[in-house]
Structure 1
Amino acid sequence: MKAYLFLIITAIIFSGNIIVGKAINELPPYTIAFFRVFIALLVVLPIGLRQARQYQHVFLKEWKPLLGLALTGVAFFNSFIYASLQFTSSTNVAIMESAIPVVTILFSMIFLKEKLAGVQWVGVILSVGGAIWVITEGSWQVVRDLAFNIGDVIMIAAILTWVAYSILVKFHMMKFPVYGSLLVMLAIANAVLFPIAVIEWVVIDGFPAVFQINHALGLLYLGIFPSLIALLLWNKGVEEVGPSQASVFLNLLPVFTIIGSLLFLGENVTLIEMIGALLVISGVLLTTKTKAEKQRQLS
């Protein structure tokens, strides 16, 4: 029960990442992403510095996968989410983000030669179809006229970025110590995001707004809770119940985000979004549940 509680709290914190990102989207997206990783870096520094020094030879030897992990999972995944929230609703972002497990399985089949059962294909079609339904607003005319919401298109980039991160994790993450590698990846992400954020400050004059109380509190939340606390809770939950069963809890992301967007952002949830959410959640449940059962049979 403790593991399930950890996973539910993780889903709530991840939904908070979307809601807070939407609430402070007066700030430019890379400014939000930079301060998020900067705050996380300050928190992790005393925890991970010893491991970072101890394993520096590993980091130097395996710098290519480490760089890939830092760019995909730490720097640009959330940057794309915050950029997407400039143009689309938090509900749309949550629905599309919840499709990540299925998209990851699909890409694993293509690049890692993993096989899908017949029922899993039904789940993939449901989830991808639900995401497409949300992107097109349930209208063929959107496809015909190529009138897509730019925010939804950016969210597709976020999903593909996380898929790349997940594949890198599968092959390389076991080489690195937990806190030391997190510290190094945060440092790399800071170095990459800082010049982009500076451009935003010059062009959009976004830097002074960071010190407004609501923006500062939002950035603190993003830097501490989704970046660190949720990660620790997620890892503990995965350790107890396994990755396939844990991934099912990501289906709660649209639910918590819809509730939060209604309570805190005053967003309206449309019937199209509700249908899309149901399709995506059903597809993910079907795909991951079937995969988990198959893995149990093999073991």
Structure 2
Amino acid sequence: MSKPTSPLTPSTIALLTLPPLLWAGNAVVGRLAAPWIPPVTFNWLRWVLAALLLLPLAPWVVRRDSPLWRQWRRFTVLGLLAVAGYNMLQYLALHTSSALNVTLVASSMPVWMMVVGRLFFGVPVERQQVLGAALSTAGVLLVLSQGRWENLLQLRFVPGDAWMLAAALVWAAYSWLLTRRDESPDIRNDWAAFLLAQTVFGLASATVLAAGEWAWLALAPPAGMPTAIQWSAPLAAVLVFVAVGPSVIAYRCWGAGVQRAGPTLAGFFTNLTPLFTAVMSAAFLGEAPHAYHAAAFGLIVAGIGVSSRRR
């Protein structure tokens, strides 16, 4: 019998851990910015800034003779899912649901990774992956319950939680599509070019959605959502952060990590996001981490370890 092995190396672990850390920061500042800017517009501005950051790194991508235009179908799908779809749905969720509910729904990501992989990519679900998902989800629930399981009974789901469920499904589909390297080698081997290509087409979709949002706000503004951008230094700082960290750096690391470890295993790392979010929130409030944070971290890491073992 062969000895179990793991595709995780220290560099791969680092690549897959940094995005949840940055996305936790995105959730915190996204919730902070919710009263200042409509969610779809927030997402559009985030990726406009990200495109401006990426353009000097790979300007040839948008030239007339670029291979990008011959592969517009692939990058339209990737951009629609990652740039326009997932982030828009997440910001909508932060407007229409509690942070606790959004985090709980997002913890289903490893399950959706396995489901999408099995149904659409023919990848079988292994027993250790199911066990790993159970351990990882238990860690998330421990964070959300603050170490008291009866707190989970007080959760009340609202229609807005469906936005985050849709976001989880969109991200699972995007992650699996990253494994199909159909693009030109010039773009495939240049991370900035690959991300810029997605951003170009994603912004096209995001622009249409942002225009639709403003038409919606003009006709029937929903309660609690701002109908104009309230510009300020804090909002500018938030936009710069989400463009640099959760967008450029996190997407670069996530794409590289998925290529190394595969979407299913990478999906388990997303459950570090609620843990990082809880620790960040505690730090901003001046509170010390609790014992259940350490226990939750142990469960999530155990889930990652179990699911990564192969024969």
* 1:139-154 equivalences in 2 (<5 Å): 139=153, 148-154=157-163
1:71-97 per-position Cα deviation (integer Å, ceiling 9, x unaligned) = 111111011111111133334434443
Shift of 1:107: 1.6
Work out which of the residue numbers 180, 187, 206 in structure 1 matches 2:227. Answer: 206
* 1:49-198 equivalences in 2 (<5 Å): 49-53=59-63, 56=66, 58-124=67-133, 138-139=152-153, 148-172=157-181, 174-175=183-184, 177=187, 178=191, 179=193, 180-198=196-214
The one-letter code of the counterpart of 1:261 is S
Is 1:252 aligned to residue 272 of structure 2? yes
Work out which of the residue numbers 300, 308, 311 in structure 2 matches 1:281. Answer: 300
Give the match's secondary structure for 1:38.
helix
Give the match's secondary structure for 2:180.
helix
Asked if 2 retains the 8 angstrom alpha-carbon contact of 1:91 and 1:257, the reply is no
Shift of 1:221: 1.1
- In 2, the alpha carbon distance for the partners of 1:257 and 1:78 equals 17
Asked if 1 retains the 8 angstrom alpha-carbon contact of 2:133 and 2:268, the reply is no
In structure 2, the partner of 1:43 is 53
Is 1:31 aligned to residue 33 of structure 2? no
- In 1, the alpha carbon distance for the partners of 2:13 and 2:128 equals 26
Give the match's secondary structure for 2:270.
helix
Shift of 1:183: 4.3
Asked if 2 retains the 8 angstrom alpha-carbon contact of 1:99 and 1:127, the reply is no
Question: TM-score, normalised on structure 1?
Answer: 0.75
CA distance 1:235–1:55, shift in 2 (3 Å): farther
Shift of 1:173: 5.6
In structure 2, the partner of 1:297 is none
Shift of 1:217: 1.5
Asked if 1 retains the 8 angstrom alpha-carbon contact of 2:137 and 2:271, the reply is no
Work out which of the residue numbers 226, 243, 246 in structure 2 matches 1:226. Answer: 246
Asked if 2 retains the 8 angstrom alpha-carbon contact of 1:38 and 1:186, the reply is no
Shift of 1:29: 1.3
Identity %: 26
1:210-244 per-position Cα deviation (integer Å, ceiling 9, x unaligned) = x12222221221122111122234455667x6447
- In 1, the alpha carbon distance for the partners of 2:269 and 2:138 equals 20
- In 2, the alpha carbon distance for the partners of 1:224 and 1:190 equals 18
- In 1, the alpha carbon distance for the partners of 2:162 and 2:286 equals 23
Give the match's secondary structure for 1:208.
coil
Shift of 1:70: 0.8
CA distance 1:66–1:237, shift in 2 (3 Å): closer
- In 2, the alpha carbon distance for the partners of 1:88 and 1:278 equals 25
Total equivalences in the alignment: 283
* The 10-residue stretch of structure 1 (177-186 or 8-17) with the greater mean CA deviation from structure 2: 177-186
Q: Which runs of 5+ in 2 are unaligned?
A: 1-9, 145-150
CA distance 1:226–1:194, shift in 2 (3 Å): same
Please give the root-mean-square deviation of Cα atoms over the aligned residues, in Å.
4.0
- In 2, the alpha carbon distance for the partners of 1:4 and 1:282 equals 11
Shift of 1:25: 1.0
The one-letter code of the counterpart of 2:276 is F
1:230-272 per-position Cα deviation (integer Å, ceiling 9, x unaligned) = 2234455667x644766554332111101123343799x9xxx
- In 1, the alpha carbon distance for the partners of 2:120 and 2:168 equals 16
* 1:260-275 equivalences in 2 (<5 Å): 260-264=280-284
CA distance 1:232–1:63, shift in 2 (3 Å): closer
1:184-203 per-position Cα deviation (integer Å, ceiling 9, x unaligned) = 23442443333134335634
Shift of 1:19: 0.7
Question: TM-score, normalised on structure 2?
Answer: 0.72
Q: Which runs of 5+ in 1 are unaligned?
A: 295-299
